[in-house]
Chains A and B, each alone.
Chain A
Amino acid sequence: TQLLEQSPQFLSIQEGENLTVYCNSSSVFSSLQWYRQEPGEGPVLLVTVVTGGEVKKLKRLTFQFGDARKDSSLHITAAQTGDTGLYLCAGVNRDDKIIFGKGTRLHILP
């Protein structure tokens, strides 16, 4: 059974600080997606990474796919209160099956 472990489960930091959250697996994925989910809403796709070692930037968010395509990280620079939410990673394997992690619940304090 393929699993995606996300860490930390919870993170509460002050506005303006930097943070990194992680998504790890022992399995290889064809692609990996990051979502943000706000209370009362469904997840919204932030980015998809496909190539090992790939780095994508979305304003203050930097996403990296591990060289072996087994792990990924999301780094937020100068966090803002609007970044608060549940961050989910999801891997798509060679059989086109999608596996989600449990998520990191991020709270940015004003």
Chain B
Amino acid sequence: ETGVTQTPRHLVMGMTNKKSLKCEQHLGHNAMYWYKQSAKKPLELMFVYNFKEQTENNSVPSRFSPECPNSSHLFLHLHTLQPEDSALYLCASSQDSGLAGNEQFFGPGTRLTVL
């Protein structure tokens, strides 16, 4: 595998379910990101991790819980979601977390539907 991979690619869950999204990068990068892409809204940065430490949380509700066990893996744990949380969740990585000088490489995303 090369680049940034995400699993699952599609997920349907009920509001009482608990599920996790997984992201893995094979690029040797130190920074990883979670984004939310909703229809008719701009791409929203949710969390930033640099060297496994969370450096940014953009006022994301606590029903989204990120985990970064090492620089190559990033998880997004989901529980008691709402239908409005349905979106494409994109993971990205970059060499370092400085957005101005580092190219971000995106995974293909997980299409999440909350019923």
Contacts and interface: CB of A to CB of B under 8 A. Distances in A.
Contacts of A51: none
A53 B43 CA distance: 26
Interface residues of B, number: 20
B106 A43 contact: yes
Interface of A: 4, 30-31, 40-45, 48, 88, 90, 92, 96-103
A4 B42 contact: yes
A88 B43 contact: yes
Contacts of A90: 43
B99 A97 contact: yes
B100 A92 contact: yes
Say whether chain B's binding surface is mostly helix, strand, loop, or mixed: loop
Contacts of A40: 108-109
Contacts of B104: 45
A102 B45 CA distance: 13
24 contacts: A4-B42, A31-B100, A40-B108, A41-B108, A41-B109, A42-B90, A42-B91, A42-B92, A42-B106, A42-B108, A42-B109, A43-B106, A45-B104, A45-B105, A92-B99, A96-B98, A96-B99, A96-B100, A97-B45, A100-B43, A101-B42, A102-B40, A102-B41, A102-B42
Interface of B: 4, 40-45, 90-92, 98-100, 103-109
Nearest to B88: A42
Contacts of B108: 40-42
Nearest to A45: B103
List the 10 shortest-distance A-B pairs measured between CB atoms, nearest first: A42-B106, A100-B43, A100-B42, A92-B100, A98-B99, A92-B99, A102-B42, A43-B106, A42-B90, A31-B100
